[in-house]
Amino acid sequence: MLRITGVLPAIILLAGILPGPSLAAQEETASSWDQVARSVTIYRDAWGVPHIFGPTDSSVVFGHLYAQAEDNFWQLEENFILATGRGAEVHGEKSLPADILVRALEIRRLSIEEYERSSPALRERCDAFAGGLNY
């Protein structure tokens, strides 16, 4: 479980950047995310904390990431940049050692392999995570 926990965040981040489907498939996927979005309710309490309600686990994951992007997109973007070993492109030479480590550990390759080995239910949630962010 520890190994999955360490790689899963990278899997989720990378799920949105895997080689893309055709334009027709993208339009079909966008349409299905529209359906998921309509099935999710995001209620913000008096303190602005989002409470996500949906008919499935995947729809709640989708809503969670959508709300997270509304509130903290800058942090999600920063985490994505660092997790893909591209920190030096944004932060300059000081981030190069971390980028080298991320690339030496082959996190992208291992994340994709882990995603492909995952159960259909976990892949569905990872896709919903990326879908909520992209939506």
The pLDDT of residue 21: 56
The runs of H, that is alpha helices, within the chain are 2-15, 23-39, 57-83, 87-91, 96-104, 107-117, 120-134
Q: What is the pLDDT of residues 5-31, one digit of tens each?
A: 444 555 555 545 555 555 555 555 667
Element (H, E) at 42: strand 41-44
Report yes or no: 27 and 127 within 8 Å, Cβ to Cβ: no
Residue 4 has pLDDT above 50, yes or no: no
Greatest Cα-to-Cα distance within the chain, rounded to the nearest angstrom: 46
**Which pLDDT band, with edges at 50, 70 and 90, does 1 fall under?**
very low
- Residues 35-77 have pLDDT tens digits of 999 999 999 999 999 999 999 999 999 999 999 999 999 999 9
At 92, is the pLDDT very low, low, confident or very high (cuts 50, 70, 90)?
A: very high
Provide the whole-model pTM.
0.76
